[in-house]
Chain A
């Protein structure tokens, strides 16, 4: 790799440059527009793999760091500071991996392709930026940047109630993040070093060079937490999600579920825990309770859905509850499991939305009752759906199992009761997933319209197969991923341990 400093910047610039190129292609050249978008997202993905291969899993510090002053005015010092650790590495790769697939899944978009592709690439810049920025203001900037493209993607290319869903999505997330901005500014003035550098602030806090009085810490934590909780979305802040998902075009749903929700849990891990460990520890029981309510509630609501896209959306609420639960159990297994679960949820839910989108392309309906017996008509789609569905349920051997198992194991060490309740979510998820699979794919074909549906074409197969392969790989050999997360996860755990009372039953656990 070249120019050690510029590696991550280049990763940010690639899709940005692609967006500019797309803005210059005439809007009538549909194939060119699609091709350009696919080209840029693909090379971004290939380039991001270099980070995977060059990543030093033993390193304690951030890697591929670049830090230059961006704004130095009066007392405000803002830096362009980017870097990567074991947690952000995989989220970045998840983003770059899902993007080309999402572009491929957008072949069906026929109106206004140029702005569509432009917004997709802009969204990619924002998402990568969120995962690599280490300056609070820079983070906030990228965080908000992701809002606008997603808002337009839902609002212009969405379903019937698209405008309502888009505005709801925007207002919810914006309201949360504005409070985060207030907290960022307050934190800044408490930290007399006068910069917004996450690493520096964390270090000063942990060395007690800066002392946040506990009530202040609590308020700041809540402000950050609210922004992230809305994004995750944690019960009871989830109401925007089903609307947004149902109305969004397939590719936007994939990105929304696959990556945007992870920004919330990533934020919890990267900001809430290291910056405000005492407040995190104090509120952990309450947050875990919300997470468990979300797991069970999401699953129960998913159970009664008649709309398969809404079902997947509610299953997201349930699965993301596991991630939050894992994060707030504060031990190595649970946090590593949460990080792993972020990836596997990104893959399997992304894939589920793709599959639902493919069904929709053929039948123009999301209602479960309109399907039935599709396995006879589309054996390939049914088979792939089966694999993804099983991964979502958490079948051993596929990716979903690893994350959920680690989370439950970690949570059990922290508090057995929580783990017991959360585990019931697994049972429920098996019920609603298997049941929906049964209603869509099993039995005899009832509806005549379903008899003539075409099976997966080459493009669709190309989209799904890489995901399925990855799902199996992550399930069979999670070490590839877990090994690289170890050090970074341990750092988060150590930071929390610093302020917590030692507990007898906590088991020291490292390595795989």
Chain B
């Protein structure tokens, strides 16, 4: 047991690159600061190699603070991929908004480091530190357009509620420590196994921790911040919150529930079950009435958190695979949809109501087809990744004989189809208005979108490869 540097190599690389971007920023002329994004990109690519170096090894590294296992490697690869896509979208976005601030990229990298630590941590303190690194970066990023009221409002809301919920998490950790005498995952699990009459302190601790994670994953009833913050935040940051931050919290939670608290599964299942139902219902029903596409996608992301929770609650290996698969599918379709939203939004996100999409499918067939594929996938219609994801998480729940939950999940996803279709309807069946500012799609955006469309369809038809990876990763 010593410091195993390969286990944290990606994190080290990202931190160093992040710090150097911070240091370089004052010396780079303002209008060239978007070029620092390439440095960040190089950092992310290097970090991929870092992950590859540790692939397949199983170890407890960094004074038993970090797991090096298949699940962790899967998560790391996933978050690096998501961050890369978000970075590319942001570079386009910052250029378009003339927001020349190199710190943006540094914060993005720090947030990524936070996600990697959260999902590989082997100690509750480490998990907390990872979560804080992620949170603080995203608080700042959410308010990055500081001159815009909505963006500042989003940052404040997120910060205040986020700080509050983190306190819950910390409080929960303290209780669990009090009940078991350790913050290490393995020790807690042993302690729980040794005394099967669970103390009230332990249960309260677990409950409080669920609140803390529930906030980040935006599970009902802790979801209220989501639409406001998502709407106000810059679109790439909305993507970061909706995909990466949510995913990291969910995977960290999955690790804690499955690895530390499997004996308590009955208890946490009773808490998560109603929360999943509420989350799916609120997300899908509230999304029906939204006229702003960012808010609609925010509610849709709440709904998807609910589907993921169905897989989590099932507590079997199919469920774990299902979550991992679903997250990748969800990342592809949400990032894709948000990329289109950003391109259509144009400067200062002026065009974000659903009406602005009227006739878009004919004027810009490429954007129309891409957004249709992403929305169809979000709706969970076959031949797309979204359907396969739903199939796996729902089958997991059926396997655990949670028929009621599955029926509710299916009913709510049927409701969900309506609002996704609404956008497609306005794109293809609405009247095109004369546009004041034409839409420009840069080559990199075109390539990213094409890849994500192909990915969504590929996973929908041949999900085998990703599933096999997820299967390996799901065996803790």
Contact = CB atoms under 8 A, between A and B. Distances in A.
A76 B425 contact: no
B403 A74 contact: no
B42 to A, nearest CB: 35
Given A73-B467, A74-B317, A156-B428, A141 B382 contact: yes
A226 to B, nearest CB: 12
A188 B397 CA distance: 12
Given A144-B381, A147-B381, A185-B395, A74 B418 contact: no
A70 B461 CA distance: 9
B262 interface: no
A156 B429 contact: yes
B96 interface: no
B417 A171 contact: yes
Given A75-B318, A155-B425, A167-B425, A185 B383 contact: no
A contact patch SS = helix
Interface stretch (B30-38, B45-53, B335-343, B408-416): B408-416
Nearest to A170: B421
A137 B470 CA distance: 21
A181 B383 contact: no
Nearest to B417: A174
Contacts of B391: 137, 181, 185
Interface in A134-154: 137, 140-141, 144-145, 147-148, 151-152
B376 interface: yes
Interface of B: 317-318, 321, 362, 376, 381-383, 387, 391-392, 394-395, 398-399, 401, 403, 406-407, 410-411, 413-414, 417-418, 421, 425, 428-429, 463-464, 467-468, 470-471
A210 interface: no
Contacts, number: 91
A76 B383 contact: no
Q: Which of B398, B418, B468 counts the most chain A CB atoms within 10 A?
A: B398
B417 A182 contact: no
A163 interface: yes
Contact of B413 (A72, A112, A163, A178): A178
A74 B413 contact: no
A178 B406 CA distance: 10
7 contacts: A74-B467, A76-B318, A156-B428, A167-B418, A170-B417, A170-B421, A181-B391
Contact of B411 (A71, A148, A152, A178): A178
B162 to A, nearest CB: 35
B318 A179 contact: no
A420 interface: no
A186 interface: yes
A72 B462 CA distance: 11
Given A73-B321, A73-B463, 6 more contacts: A70-B464, A76-B392, A155-B425, A167-B418, A174-B417, A175-B411
Contacts of A182: 394, 398, 403, 406-407, 410
Nearest to A162: B429
B66 to A, nearest CB: 27
Nearest to A141: B382
Contacts of A152: 428
A360 interface: no
